[in-house]
Amino acid sequence: MKIIRLLLLLSLFHLLFSCQTEMVTYKSFEDYPTYAGSDLGLRYSPERAIFKIWSPPASKARVKLYERGVGGTPLVTQLMKKGQSSTWTAIFEEDLAGKFYAFQVFIGGKWLNEVPDPYAKAVGLNGKRGMVADLQKTNPEDWEEDVRPPLKNFTDIILYELHLRDISVQPASGIEHKGKFVGLTERGTTNPAGLSTGLDHIKELGVTHVHLLPSFDFKSIDEAHLSENKFNWGYDPQNYNTPEGSYSTDPAVGTVRIREFKQLVKTLHANGLRVILDVVYNHTGDTEGSNFNQLVPGYYYRQDAEGGFSNATGCGNETASERPMMRKFIVESVRYWAEEYHLDGFRFDLMGVHDIETMNAVSEALHKIDPTIFIYGEGWTAGASPLPEELRAVKKNTFKLNGVAAFSDDMRDAIKGHVFTPDAKAFINGLPGLEESVKFGVVASTQHPQIDYEKVNYSKTPWANEPSQTINYVSCHDNHTLWDRLLNSCKGEPESELIKMDKLANTIVLTSQGVPFLQAGVEFLRTKAGVENSFNSPDSINRIDWTRKSMYRDVFEYYRKLIQLRKNHPAFRMPSQELIVKNLQFLDIRENNLLGFVLKNHANGDSFKNILVFYNGNEAGKMVPVPEGNWMVICRDGKIEESGMGEMKGAKRVKISGRSALILVQK
């Protein structure tokens, strides 16, 4: 009671002080003072809790403490003291661990809504209030001994994109903690046929990085009613700096989700896998009611010509990364995730909304922590933005980015067809004229003297300085799975032919330079029952069907061996544009849907002297030229055997079957 009385007296003192604080008016957001300190949000110790927010337009600010994350009345309401650069501070000289808090600011003659601050590192149920937490106590056992698996070059990466719920929710997964962070830490899980699932499956497949779809706290799932089994991808951010509660075993206690996410990272690291977090700083799930907007209305967002929220994201708003305090937030947020959670990389949703300077600041900050942290994103927007394109991190400006990669829609659509035309064909199913576009993907969007850039589908000039700046892929969570796409574009074709096209598609991806990207489940022909935009579809659509691993064991084995081939042979993952020009030579083949190239002279230190790669997207088999010498076949007719499947001595031409790849090597 003595403490409560003291707090009430302090509140009265701050009330008297704040009544004398006049609101400062500014002509524009550019006139707002910026704060350079790194202590916004909550600084906790057992002896003291210091709360600090930034709000130039506020004339008063207060923090409320609660016993629970939702409901109830405040234990205390304390007015905050205005400090330098329009910051507001409240100090509690006691241990507040386990208490919850929210802020309010007084603007325009009224108190705005209670919200956590944007920097909140722990939250309660549904993210409505921040939680005071001792982060040291959230560390798993031996957390300080956790280390990132080794990585020499970014081009050694093989990305595997998955959703936490998708990977485990089906009964056939054999995973106990379905839809939870800890579900992906379970070992020894199998499908009904005894084949590995979950983490063991990912290890067996051989990828290097697990890309987690948004796993920060997002808005659309009611954490109080998880039995309703609602689904969402998570591209509706609410609290950026704390994990999503629905993926934890107890979303009401903010420290549980933190500990379990850290355990996931630690377990994946221990099993040789790095972890990428999909981040969504380009927009917020709520607009008017967001944490940003309730503390500094309008500042964190771009405005359109009428003064409303601009919408390059298609989600009702777009953040203004070029404004100093938004840029500061993004940089400090990713730095926090990298340091506190030991994350190994970040995928930026709609990266083209962000400005180049911000993305380069992100790269600089992260690579100071660890130069092997990988950063990539979507080099486009979902609509027009008021920020000029020459300032934005769109694909064609990738060459202006330092250590940041972009997805190649050039390669994606050249292989399987225009992404928004579900029945469109492309290279793998016989549409002519895309050979230069595929070659552009093979050299990872870099400069190469044998590419006719005028014939590339989208990009008429190289956009990557180095191959590590290009993400090659054919499917991801967006749009149809590769298998569903083939069902749409090749109606009436027998399943055996579709499987040929499927294998060919990702053979191109995994034997090209750059960084390959796979959607989880593609290795056994994942389907979403034809649903293209499954962001809030039920589990029956989104879950990975682990019985398909048994049904399509041959496809899985092909993918596994293809990945191993890439990992075993550095010729497929040269780290520089100069090495590609020196060691990758296209053969003079002038037929539709047919191309070949040689990786020569022990490229990038490869044990094979020369590697000859052919892709045939035609239904019929074709004859292709073979350079002089003795060659061993390691990939043919949808099979891969690195030890060899026969030799060819002195042949000048060889037949490659329809819709397949052929790989020959010289030792």
Q: How long a stretch of residues is the chain?
A: 667
Q: How confident is the model at residue 667 (pLDDT cuts 50, 70, 90)?
A: confident
> What DSSP character marks residue 22?
P
Q: For residues 356 and 318, is the Cβ–Cβ distance under 8 A?
A: no
Q: Is the pLDDT of residue 19 over 50?
A: no
pLDDT in tens, 87-123: 999 999 999 999 999 999 999 999 999 999 999 999 9
Asked if the structure places residue 497 within a domain, the reply is no
Which pair of tokens denotes residue 551?
């049904």
Q: What is the mean pLDDT of residues 574-583?
A: 98
> What DSSP character marks residue 24?
P
pLDDT in tens, 635-666: 999 999 999 999 988 889 999 999 999 999 99
φ and ψ at 437, to 5 degrees?
Answer: -65, -40
What separation, in Å, do the N-terminal and C-terminal C-alpha atoms of the chain show?
82
Round to whole Å and give the CA distance between 105 and 53: 10
With left for phi above 0 and alpha for psi between -120 and 50, is residue 314 left, alpha or beta?
A: left
Q: How confident is the model at residue 11 (pLDDT cuts 50, 70, 90)?
A: very low
Domain end point (choices 90, 118, 138)? 138
Q: Which amino acid is at 422?
A: P
Mean of per-residue pLDDT scores for the chain: 95
With left for phi above 0 and alpha for psi between -120 and 50, is residue 341 left, alpha or beta?
A: alpha
With left for phi above 0 and alpha for psi between -120 and 50, is residue 575 left, alpha or beta?
A: alpha
Asked if the structure places residue 46 within a domain, the reply is yes
> Percentage of residues in the chain with pLDDT exceeding 70?
97
pTM score? 0.95
Q: How confident is the model at residue 22 (pLDDT cuts 50, 70, 90)?
A: low
| pLDDT at residue 15 in the model | 42
| pLDDT at residue 313 in the model | 98
Q: How confident is the model at residue 227 (pLDDT cuts 50, 70, 90)?
A: confident
Range of the domain at 75: 2-138
Asked if the structure places residue 103 within a domain, the reply is yes
Q: What is the mean pLDDT of residues 425-454?
A: 98
Which pair of tokens denotes residue 69?
């994350």
Q: Which amino acid is at 441?
A: G
Round to whole Å and give the CA distance between 116 and 69: 11
Q: Of 549, 430, 530, 419, which is closest to residue 473 (Cα–Cα)?
A: 419
Q: What is the mean pLDDT of residues 9-34?
A: 65
Q: Of 436, 438, 407, which is closest to residue 661 (Cα–Cα)?
A: 438
Q: Is the pLDDT of residue 214 over 90?
A: yes
Q: Which residue has the higher pLDDT, 2 or 296?
A: 296
Q: Is the pLDDT of residue 2 over 90?
A: no
Q: Is the pLDDT of residue 250 over 90?
A: yes
Kindly tell me the sign of the dihedral angle through the C-alpha atoms of 285, 288, 292, 295: negative
φ and ψ at 665, to 5 degrees?
Answer: -135, 155
Asked if the structure places residue 92 within a domain, the reply is yes
Round to whole Å and give the CA distance between 368 and 370: 6
Which pair of tokens denotes residue 71?
């409901």
Asked if the structure places residue 28 within a domain, the reply is yes
Domain end point (choices 138, 161, 180)? 138
State whether residue 364 is helix, strand or coil: helix
Q: Which amino acid is at 519?
A: Q
CB 540: neighbour CB atoms within 10 A? 13
pLDDT in tens, 257-316: 999 999 999 999 999 999 999 999 999 999 999 999 999 999 999 999 999 999 999 999
Domain end point (choices 94, 123, 138)? 138
pLDDT in tens, 315-363: 999 999 999 999 999 999 999 999 999 999 999 999 999 999 999 999 9
Q: Which residues contact 647 (CB under 8 A, 6 or more apart)?
A: 630, 631, 632, 633
φ and ψ at 479, to 5 degrees?
Answer: 65, -170
Angle 553-568/495-511 helices, nearest 10 degrees?
10
Round to whole Å and give the CA distance between 663 and 660: 10
Q: Which amino acid is at 110?
A: K
Round to whole Å and give the CA distance between 248 and 261: 8
| pLDDT at residue 396 in the model | 98
85: β partners: none
Q: What is the mean pLDDT of residues 397-413?
A: 98
Q: How confident is the model at residue 139 (pLDDT cuts 50, 70, 90)?
A: very high
CATH assignment of the domain containing 11: 2.60.40.10
Burial of residue 89 (number of CB atoms within 10 Å: 0-12, 13-18, 19+): middle
Burial of residue 368 (number of CB atoms within 10 Å: 0-12, 13-18, 19+): exposed
Asked if the structure places residue 118 within a domain, the reply is yes
Compute, in degrees rounded to 10, the torsion defined by CA atoms 219, 70, 248, 39: 80
| pLDDT at residue 23 in the model | 59
Asked if the structure places residue 648 within a domain, the reply is yes
Active site residues: 349, 378
Tally of structural domains, the chain:
2
Q: Is the pLDDT of residue 201 over 60?
A: yes
| pLDDT at residue 651 in the model | 85
CATH assignment of the domain containing 620: 2.60.40.1180
Q: How confident is the model at residue 10 (pLDDT cuts 50, 70, 90)?
A: very low
| pLDDT at residue 596 in the model | 98
- Render 499-515 in DSSP notation, one character per residue: HHHHHHHHHHHHHSSSE
Q: Which helix (H) or strand (E) holds 41?
A: strand 41-45
pLDDT in tens, 516-536: 999 999 999 999 999 999 999
Q: Of 393, 385, 427, which is closest to residue 410 (Cα–Cα)?
A: 427
| pLDDT at residue 566 in the model | 98
Asked if the structure places residue 574 within a domain, the reply is no
Q: Is the pLDDT of residue 242 over 90?
A: yes
Determine how β-strand 209-212 pairs with β-strand 159-162: parallel
